[in-house]
Structure 1
Amino acid sequence: MRPISRGSASLPACAASLLALACLGRAEAADCAFEPQGGGRVATVVDARSFRLEDGREIRLAGIERAGTDRTSATAALSAIVTGRDVILHGEDDSPDRYGRQPAFVFAAGSEHSVQSELLRRGEALVSPDIADKNCAAALATAEDAARDSKLGIWADAAAIKNTESPGDILAAIGQFTVVEGRVLSVRQAGTITYLNFGRNWTRDFAATIPRRIIPALESAGLGPKSFENRRIRVRGVVTSRGGPRIEVFRVGQIEVLGGK
């Protein structure tokens, strides 16, 4: 177990507890098996993706995004899972983000799944495309799929996935992390940007934009942009507006091919 770099003043009082949690964490972290980064007891939930430990550290759940606009439901779900419980943190390092929060994959004592997986299984979160580890990404995607198939949480609403045939609905989600689904009508390149067009009117219809620097990663994954033409795909990311609604693709995990032509 790596040394705990922050909150070390409380270490003597809880060293035995944390050692036990770390051993438990290694056994349970099959879905996102990163190095253990300490742990503690959850004092309070801050929002749908963050909580504070009794030693004062604020933890940000890595690998997921907030689902929908109803923060109350997701916050309540997180609170029910972790408040007052001992947790073990996993990650590639314990460096805080620019807001002082420690991003981590979190396992509550006695749980076989990460907190992230539990939220996804309840339909209270979306998988983030920022996960570099393929096994971790696949495990979280499976949890999200299970909730979607069972219509749990946000997936009980048919509008949870935005349809590219209704660009106005996508525009209503500007600034939000959103899942959009539809058939790619055409693939066009303009300068350093490749456009996956889902309609014929660029001032109104939805498009996914792919910067040139991302193309090699997509091709390595068997997802060359031209292969998307006339295919149904699912795109996830933050919605912007440049004429019509847009999602910019920065990572391979933002695009999922749904079926044949």
Structure 2
Amino acid sequence: MKQPITLLVAASLHLACHGAARAAACQFEPQGEGRVAAVVDARTLRLDDGREVRLTGIEPVTSTKQALATALVGRDVILRAADDTPDRYGRQPALVFAAGSDAPVQSLLLAQGDALVSAEIADKDCAAALFAAEAEARRIKKGNWADPSAIKNAESQDDILAGIGRFVVVEGKVLSVRQAGATTYLNFSRNWTRGFAVTISRRMVAAFEGAGISLKSLENRRIRVRGWVEGNTGSRIDVLRVGQVELLGAN
């Protein structure tokens, strides 16, 4: 069978030209293999033996499902992860490597601007490789990043509220850092009840400090935050992992 390789080859060449170390960063233990029979949805593959695989490490955008179908349907793949414990839907979470490729399809999708980093990968080297692939696509405005609205402005409350229930990327200046009970609020508006905010639970403080980030030091800093938008009159993203927050430079 002739395999669909346009996306796979193009992105593989891109990664090869921009650092072989990135491609080798996510080499977890093999957790099985098979042939991709179908793309169920933008984050789920079905193998020819009936197993379903959830792509870990990324969140989909509009083009993800088609890009996956083009890259993987009919191809043999290797599944890599720290373990093979299925999620609550019975899917096996994994980084998916097409046979003969040194990079997971997640990196290839990110390099094409066909996905967003989810920040769920705990391994620092692998997480850094995924963020680097996304950053390059974002720098050259490729795929999803060609749309100016792909990054939400923290001051544009209406735009963020339109993303309720979706995974989005937001950038802006933290105007204040406040603690209320067991929650720290990074506020991007003087109107705390109606503006956009990032919430961080007390149990996450040690993880931020371990990464060299004092939450109070984020006041007056520009940051990029990613996650699921919640809210009603105001909007917020609940930060569950340090990787959801990126510092964007000087004050």
Cα distance per residue 1:15-47 (max 9 Å; x no partner):
xxxxxxxxxxxxx96121110011011111111
Q: Which residue of 1 aligns with 2:14?
A: none
Q: How far does residue 222 in structure 1 lie from its aligned partner after superposition? A: 1.1
Q: How far does residue 247 in structure 1 lie from its aligned partner after superposition? A: 0.4
Q: What is the SS of the residue equivalent to 1:205? A: coil
Q: Does 1:66 align with 2:60?
A: yes
Structure 2 counterpart of 1:40, from 4, 20, 34:
34
Q: Which residue of 2 aligns with 1:93?
A: 83
Q: Which residue of 2 aligns with 1:4?
A: none
CA distance in 1, matches of 2:206, 2:240: 12
Q: How far does residue 242 in structure 1 lie from its aligned partner after superposition? A: 5.0
- Structure 2 segments unaligned to the other structure (5+ residues): 1-21
Cα distance per residue 1:69-112 (max 9 Å; x no partner):
x2xx2111001111100100001111211111110001001223
Which residue identity lines up with residue 195 of structure 1 in the other structure? Y
**Alpha carbons of 1:56 and 1:29: their partners in 2 closer, same or farther (altered >3 Å)?**
farther
Cα distance per residue 1:100-133 (max 9 Å; x no partner):
1110001001223110001101111111121110
CA distance in 1, matches of 2:78, 2:65: 20
Instruction: Answer yes or no: is the 8 Å Cα contact 2:111–2:133 preserved in 1.
Output: yes
Alignment TM-score, normalising by the size of structure 1:
0.86
Structure 2 counterpart of 1:187, from 177, 181, 200:
177
Q: How far does residue 250 in structure 1 lie from its aligned partner after superposition? A: 1.1
Q: What is the SS of the residue equivalent to 1:213? A: helix
CA distance in 2, matches of 1:59, 1:240: 27
Where do 1:224-243 residues align within 5 Å?
224-241=214-231, 243=233
Alignment TM-score, normalising by the size of structure 2:
0.89
How many positions carry a matched residue from both structures? Answer: 231
**Alpha carbons of 1:36 and 1:209: their partners in 2 closer, same or farther (altered >3 Å)?**
same
CA distance in 1, matches of 2:239, 2:233: 17
Q: Which residue of 1 aligns with 2:201?
A: 211
Structure showing greater radius of gyration is 1
Q: Which residue of 2 aligns with 1:168?
A: 158
CA distance in 1, matches of 2:56, 2:155: 32
Q: Does 1:158 align with 2:158?
A: no
Q: Which residue of 1 aligns with 2:242?
A: 252
CA distance in 2, matches of 1:144, 1:205: 28
Which residue identity lines up with residue 149 of structure 2 in the other structure? A
Q: What is the SS of the residue equivalent to 2:193? A: coil
Query: Runs of 4 or more off by more than 4 Å in structure 1?
Result: none
